[in-house]
């Protein structure tokens, strides 16, 4: 992070703005709105700026920058058309440890002005760290459309009752739950419709019985195969509400980062033959955390109910009547196949698809291989990288042609996704040579032929 977003209290703070043109006028408007005690230094002023200064009791020093003393100021903004002066201001200010912004020159800024969605007292600041103010403004427009105009009123309303709610519900987790229910439910609707009396009545009523707030809940969430954009809206929403998140190795760090900053994160990842937390302990941990009244998110790669042991994890919750929800995710087969341009079914090549666990148990795959013989069925092997030579050999030994196409998708849907294509006869050698990195998925069947025409995702040559 190049700039840390913080909100600065500027009421009555001495601020110097150097420049009197259009850009300076824009900055002055913001600074005055924040209550700064503003001095504008410039030989000339735009009419609008002059008017603003009169209105807000700002000071105009009709002078050049060289005549100005920065000492004691809280911050300074350089908005002159002269590069040399702007840079001089930057050097003087930093030497005196004064916050400085040279407009349109992020390299000469110790702070920058974000784009703001203003629902005062609610503020949303968007910054591109000076890379693309236009992009920040586009994003701002989108957020403007999402956030109701009356949200400021809602923030003020919540502010009025903050202390009362804190005194009534001293524990953090149930208190947050209380506010979430209030601010997303009927109380908020009343405030937004300008019926604050009714809102207050509702809020006080709910404060009288808070027992339901002390029960925890578990959300078993599918995080998809890797690309964070493949998360569902529901998953994103519940992630935001979690007090604690348990995640494993297959979950993208970008998705774990979508949790609240103060949420606890617990890694319970598994690698083949390296179970960092045994399954029974994970199951128990979910129960313990929920019984402490926490909202617990258990994030799993792909879909929780496909080779994810999701069923085992909620069994104990169900038995103990702990509330839970399961949120489906895009499973690796769906994600990787789409990004690799391999339709899992196709009228000409495959009428069915079968997901198979491909890991070895004591060095052998115990399947009835004769069930995998239909040429019109796509086979997808999860966890099959170690077993790949054995899978190829067994399928051929039980009658599948050595010419049957097979693809191995490495790190599907991630930016470095790679697709290796071969046949049952050649694939073991191709993979031994290419040494793909986990996770990998194997797709077998004629649909693999479509990959070369239908793939759109950038990929390394296979």
Tell me if 387 contacts ligand SAH by CB under 6 A.
Answer: no
Helices assigned H by DSSP within 328-426: 332-340, 388-397
CB 236 within 8 A of CB 258: yes
**Near ligand SAH in 159-218, by CB under 6 A:** none
Q: Residue 90: name the closest of 74, 107, 73 by CA.
A: 107
Tell me if 413 contacts ligand SAH by CB under 6 A.
Answer: yes
Distance CA 93, CA 73 (A): 9
**Near ligand SAH in 261-280, by CB under 6 A:** none
Using the contact rule CB under 6 A, the part of the chain among 16-24, 41-49, 178-186, 302-310 near ligand SAH is 302-310
357: which residues sit within 8 A by CB, 6+ positions away?
A: 307, 381, 382, 383
Residues serving a catalytic function are 248, 270
Print the binding letters for residues 315-334 with ligand SAH: x by CB under 6 A, - otherwise: ----------------xx--
Distance CA 261, CA 18 (A): 38
HSE-up of 41 (CA within 13 Å, CB side)?
20
Tell me if 250 contacts ligand SAH by CB under 6 A.
Answer: yes
Tell me if 336 contacts ligand SAH by CB under 6 A.
Answer: yes
Tell me if 439 contacts ligand SAH by CB under 6 A.
Answer: yes
By C-beta, is 295 or 411 nearer to ligand SAH? Answer: 411
When CB distances to ligand SAH are compared, the closest residue is 302
Tell me if 225 contacts ligand SAH by CB under 6 A.
Answer: yes
164: which residues sit within 8 A by CB, 6+ positions away?
A: 207
CB of 153 to ligand SAH, least distance (A): 44
CB of 340 to ligand SAH, least distance (A): 10
Using the contact rule CB under 6 A, the part of the chain among 93-101, 139-147, 305-313, 389-397 near ligand SAH is 305-313
434: which residues sit within 8 A by CB, 6+ positions away?
A: 418, 420, 462
Q: Residue 9: name the closest of 35, 39, 47 by CA.
A: 35
Per DSSP, 108 falls in state G
Contact residue for ligand SAH among 411, 420, 421, 445 (CB under 6 A): 411
CB of 232 to ligand SAH, least distance (A): 13
Q: How many residues bind ligand SAH (CB under 6 A)?
A: 23
By C-beta, is 301 or 422 nearer to ligand SAH? Answer: 301
Cβ neighbourhood burial of 231 (10 Å; 0-12, 13-18, 19+): buried
Tell me if 412 contacts ligand SAH by CB under 6 A.
Answer: yes
Contact residue for ligand SAH among 382, 404, 443, 448 (CB under 6 A): 382
Distance CA 337, CA 16 (A): 58
Residue 98 gets the label, from left (phi > 0), alpha (psi -120 to 50) or beta, of: beta
Question: Which residues bind to ligand SAH, rule: CB under 6 A?
Answer: 225-226, 250, 300-303, 306-308, 331-332, 336, 382-383, 409, 411-414, 439-441
């Amino acid at each position: 992070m190049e700039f840390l977003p913080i909100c600065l209290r500027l009421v009555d703070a001495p601020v110097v703005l150097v420049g009197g043109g259009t850009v300076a006028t824009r900055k002055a408007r913001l600074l005055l709105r924040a209550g700064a005690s503003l001095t504008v230094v410039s030989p000339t002023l735009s009419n609008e700026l002059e008017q603003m200064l009169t209105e807000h009791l700002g000071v105009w020093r009709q002078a050049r920058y060289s005549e100005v003393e920065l000492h004691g100021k809280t911050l300074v903004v350089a908005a002159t058309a002269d590069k040399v002066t702007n840079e001089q201001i930057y050097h003087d200010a930093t030497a005196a440890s004064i916050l400085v912004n040279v407009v349109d020159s992020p390299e000469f800024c110790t702070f920058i002005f974000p784009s703001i969605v203003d629902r005062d007292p609610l503020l949303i600041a968007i910054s591109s760290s000076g890379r693309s103010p236009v992009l920040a403004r586009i994003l701002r427009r989108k957020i403007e459309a999402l956030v109701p105009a009356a949200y400021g009123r809602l923030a003020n309303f919540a502010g009025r009752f903050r202390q009362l709610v804190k005194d009534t519900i001293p524990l953090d987790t149930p208190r947050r739950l209380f506010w979430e229910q209030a601010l997303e439910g009927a109380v908020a609707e009343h405030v937004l419709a300008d019926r604050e009396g009714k809102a207050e009545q509702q809020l006080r009523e709910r404060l009288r019985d808070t027992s339901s707030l002390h029960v925890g809940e578990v959300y078993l969430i599918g995080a998809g195969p890797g690309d964070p954009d493949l998360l569902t809206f529901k998953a994103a929403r519940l992630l935001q509400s979690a007090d604690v998140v348990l995640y494993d190795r297959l979950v993208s760090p970008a998705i774990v980062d979508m949790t609240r900053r103060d949420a606890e994160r617990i890694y319970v990842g598994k690698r083949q033959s390296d179970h960092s937390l045994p399954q029974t302990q994970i199951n128990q941990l979910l129960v313990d955390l929920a019984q402490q009244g926490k909202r617990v998110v258990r994030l799993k790669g792909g879909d929780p109910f496909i080779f994810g042991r999701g069923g085992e994890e909620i069994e104990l919750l169900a038995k103990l009547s702990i509330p839970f929800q399961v949120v489906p995710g895009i499973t690796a087969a769906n994600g990787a196949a789409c990004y690799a341009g391999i339709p899992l079914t196709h009228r000409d090549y495959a009428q069915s698809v079968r997901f198979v666990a491909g890991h070895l148990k004591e060095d052998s795959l115990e399947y009835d291989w004769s069930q995998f013989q239909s040429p019109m069925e796509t086979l997808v092997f999860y966890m099959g990288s170690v077993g790949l030579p054995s899978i190829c050999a067994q399928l051929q030994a039980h009658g599948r042609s050595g010419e049957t196409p097979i693809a191995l998708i490495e790190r599907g849907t991630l930016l470095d996704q790679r697709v290796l294509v071969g046949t049952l006869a050649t694939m073991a050698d191709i993979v031994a040579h290419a040494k793909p990195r986990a996770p990998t998925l194997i797709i077998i069947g004629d649909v693999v032929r479509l990959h070369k025409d239908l793939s759109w995702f950038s990929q390394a040559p296979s």
